[in-house]
């Protein structure tokens, strides 16, 4: 769930301008594709008052002065975006936001950061995600209660089973079989 009312976006700042004490950049709509984001950033860099390279202008085909580098100096609705995250990473994150719009963007960003590839994160969320809990112990206690209830034939849990069940040992052992990721709202739990 986005924390703002606007589409996810980021502020791309021209580093040549920044290094000369001038704020020059543009807000880029992150819900567009990578090529569109790249074109918007290139246009912003060409408009810099501190060019350090020449590039071909897409409109005229002529070589024009341009700044070369940018960094992400602000963002909205993109979780824990870093200063030098790639446009491909941003696009993959926006796809996750669209598909898992019921989840907090900060939690999704932490999950994406744990996987080496955005498609792996999406697959794990689709196939192995158990939920987000305040602690892993909360998850393991819930799983234990469900397991104990399943072993009760008449719907009542036998007191002997409850008396001898070691919740701490169960949680410790279960943690070895699960994959967990610390997220801003707690811990994301995945079946391994």
Tell me the per-residue pLDDT of 148-160, one tens digit each, with 9 for 90 and over: 777 666 666 666 6
Among 127, 159, 177, identify where a domain stops. Answer: 127
Q: Is residue 15 part of a domain?
A: yes
**CATH number of domain containing 186:** 1.10.10
Instruction: Encode pLDDT of 43-89 as tens digits.
Output: 999 999 999 999 999 989 999 999 999 999 999 888 777 898 899 98
Express each pLDDT in 115-126 by its tens digit.
877 788 899 999
pLDDT at 4: 42
- Tell which of 81, 102, 127 closes a domain: 127
Q: Domain residues for 50?
A: 9-127
Same structural domain, 101 and 173: no
103/142 same-domain check: no
Q: Does residue 5 surpass a pLDDT of 50?
A: no
* In a domain? residue 40: yes
Q: Based on the domain organization, do 28 and 75 belong to the same domain?
A: yes
Give the count of domains, the chain: 2
Look up the CATH number of the domain holding residue 102: 3.10.20.480
Q: Considering the domain boundaries, does residue 2 fall inside one?
A: no
pLDDT score recorded for residue 154: 63
**Strand partners for 188:** 132, 181
Do 32 and 118 lie in a common domain? yes
Residue 158's contacts (CB-CB under 8 Å, 6 or more residues apart) are: 151, 152
Q: How large a percentage of the chain has pLDDT more than 70?
A: 91
Same domain for 146 and 96 = no
Mean pLDDT in the chain? Answer: 88
pLDDT score at 6:
64
């Amino acid at each position: 769930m986005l924390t703002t009312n606007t589409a996810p976006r980021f502020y791309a700042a021209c580093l040549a301008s920044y290094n000369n004490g001038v704020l020059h950049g543009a807000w880029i709509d992150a819900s567009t594709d990578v090529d569109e984001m790249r074109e918007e950033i290139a246009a912003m860099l060409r408009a810099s008052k501190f060019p350090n390279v020449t590039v071909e202008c897409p409109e005229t085909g002529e070589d024009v002065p341009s700044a070369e580098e940018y960094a992400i100096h602000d963002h909205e609705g993109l979780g824990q975006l870093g200063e030098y995250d790639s446009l491909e990473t941003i696009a993959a994150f926006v796809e996750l936001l669209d598909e898992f719009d019921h989840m907090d963007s900060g939690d999704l960003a932490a999950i994406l950061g744990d996987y080496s590839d955005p498609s792996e994160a999406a697959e794990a969320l689709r196939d192995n995600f158990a939920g987000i809990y305040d602690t892993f112990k909360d998850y393991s206690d819930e799983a234990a209660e469900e397991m104990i209830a399943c072993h009760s034939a008449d719907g009542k849990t036998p007191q002997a089973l409850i008396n001898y069940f070691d919740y701490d040992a169960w949680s410790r052992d279960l943690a070895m079989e699960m994959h967990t990721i610390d997220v801003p709202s707690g811990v994301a739990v995945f079946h391994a």
